[in-house]
């Protein structure tokens, strides 16, 4: 079912499955579906970072191969001015109104994408750390039959700069090894949101992503565990992630946020999120 640009949030919600738990949201604008694939960008108060990233998407001509949808978590810094987004090739802007953080934003965006009939869903952070020029490779991988494509800065062809040492060690020594061991797939980079999914994997009743327990950062770890376990076709693809010098653009607080990530990881790796 493809919704028109004038579709309202209520009419879209009517297309959701009865058991889907999706936070309240607003459709700020929607240009309509033009591609089998979409690029979802979760943001909140990214300032010039999201504006720079949108410009990079335009330069890479991503709007010609996939529909770009921004899902906002409640930005108040004026960075998501609609005329700028429309002029830069963004197809839609959704604003999450209900509670929750990243996983809640993703539930809004995934539900919207799935009822609009997208075959491939690419997600990438809006903080301008990732190189969008790699997105066409993710689209091709989905078209070739992969169900989960994860960006990795740590495999051959990938690159990273200015990664905080604590973040590097956490990924390399704990997060990726634990998910690799528990899922059976040799993941090397599991915390970043630059990834792609097939619609069929997200719609699988054995996965059930539309649950209220997915509120903060749970979905990233859960899907990295669950989809390989269900024998979906997974792959890592080399990518570039560059942190700005002297700055760590992240919404994860130093202690509380990292503790939450560890709890999410442990629960995911032991099957605690399985339906």
Structure token digits, residue 40: 């979802």
Cα 155 to Cα 43: distance, rounded to the nearest angstrom: 27
> Is the per-residue pLDDT at 29 higher than 60?
yes
Q: Which residues pair with 69 in a beta bridge?
A: 40, 92
| pLDDT at residue 1, as a whole number | 63
260 — pLDDT class (breaks 50, 70, 90): confident
Structure token digits, residue 11: 């009419």
9 — pLDDT class (breaks 50, 70, 90): confident
Instruction: Please state, in angstroms and as integers, the Cα–Cα distance from residue 169 to each residue in 164, 175, 266, following that order.
Output: 9, 9, 17
Model pLDDT for residues 154-207, shown as the tens digit of each residue: 999 999 999 988 889 989 999 999 999 999 999 999 999 999 999 999 999 999
Query: What's the rounded mean pLDDT across residues 82-109?
Result: 97
Instruction: Please state, in angstroms and as integers, the Cα–Cα distance from residue 114 to each residue in 164, 175, 198, following that order.
Output: 35, 29, 10
Extract the runs of DSSP E, i.e. beta strands, from 44-87. 67-72
> Is the per-residue pLDDT at 17 higher than 70?
yes
Model pLDDT for residues 206-247, shown as the tens digit of each residue: 999 999 999 999 999 999 999 999 999 999 999 999 998 866
Inter-residue contact 238 to 188 (CB < 8 Å): no
Total residue count of the chain as it appears in this document? 275
| pLDDT at residue 3, as a whole number | 72
Could you tell me which of 112, 106, 118 has the C-alpha nearest to residue 12? Answer: 112
- DSSP of 98-167: SS-SHHHHHHHHHHHHHHTT-SEEEE--SSS-B-GGGHHHHHHHHHTT-SEEEEESSSTT-EEES--HHH
> Is the per-residue pLDDT at 102 higher than 60?
yes
What structural domains and CATH numbers belong to the chain?
Answer: 9-269 (3.90.550.10)
| pLDDT at residue 143, as a whole number | 98
Element (H, E) at 23: none
Share of the chain above pLDDT 70, in %: 93
274 — pLDDT class (breaks 50, 70, 90): very high
Residues 6+ apart with CB under 8 A from 36: 118, 119, 120
Cα 99 to Cα 111: distance, rounded to the nearest angstrom: 16
> Is the per-residue pLDDT at 252 higher than 70?
no
Longest dimension (CA), the chain: 48
> Is the per-residue pLDDT at 77 higher than 90?
yes
Inter-residue contact 87 to 165 (CB < 8 Å): no
Give the DSSP letter of residue 79.
Answer: T
Structure token digits, residue 218: 């749970």
Using CA atoms in the order 207, 29, 142, 133, what is the torsion angle rounded to 10 degrees?
Answer: -130
């Amino acid at each position: 079912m493809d919704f028109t640009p004038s579709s309202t949030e209520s009419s879209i919600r009517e297309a959701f499955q009865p058991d889907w738990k999706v936070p309240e949201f607003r459709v700020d604008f929607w240009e309509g579906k033009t591609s089998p694939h979409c690029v979802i960008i979760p943001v909140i108060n990214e300032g010039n970072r999201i504006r720079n990233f949108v410009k990079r998407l335009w330069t890479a001509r991503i709007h010609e191969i996939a529909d770009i949808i921004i899902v906002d978590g409640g930005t108040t810094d004026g960075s998501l001015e609609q005329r700028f987004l429309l002029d830069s090739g963004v197809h839609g802007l959704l604003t999450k109104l209900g509670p929750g953080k990243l996983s809640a934003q993703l539930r809004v965006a995934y539900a919207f994408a799935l009822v609009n009939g997208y075959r491939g869903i690419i997600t990438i952070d809006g903080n301008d750390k990732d190189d969008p020029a790699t997105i066409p490779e993710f689209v091709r991988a989905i078209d070739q039959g992969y169900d989960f494509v994860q960006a990795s800065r740590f495999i051959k062809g990938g690159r990273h700069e200015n990664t905080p040492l604590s973040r590097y060690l956490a990924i390399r020594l704990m997060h990726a090894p634990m998910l690799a061991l528990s899922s059976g797939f040799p993941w090397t980079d599991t915390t970043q949101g630059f990834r792609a999914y097939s619609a069929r994997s997200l719609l699988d009743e054995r996965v059930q992503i539309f649950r209220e327990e997915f509120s903060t950062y749970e979905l990233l770890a859960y899907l990295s565990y669950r989809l390989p376990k269900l024998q979906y076709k997974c792959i890592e693809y080399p990518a570039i992630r560059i942190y700005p010098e002297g700055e760590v653009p992240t919404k994860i607080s130093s202690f509380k946020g990292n503790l939450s990530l560890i709890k999410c990881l442990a629960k995911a790796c032991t099957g605690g999120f399985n339906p």
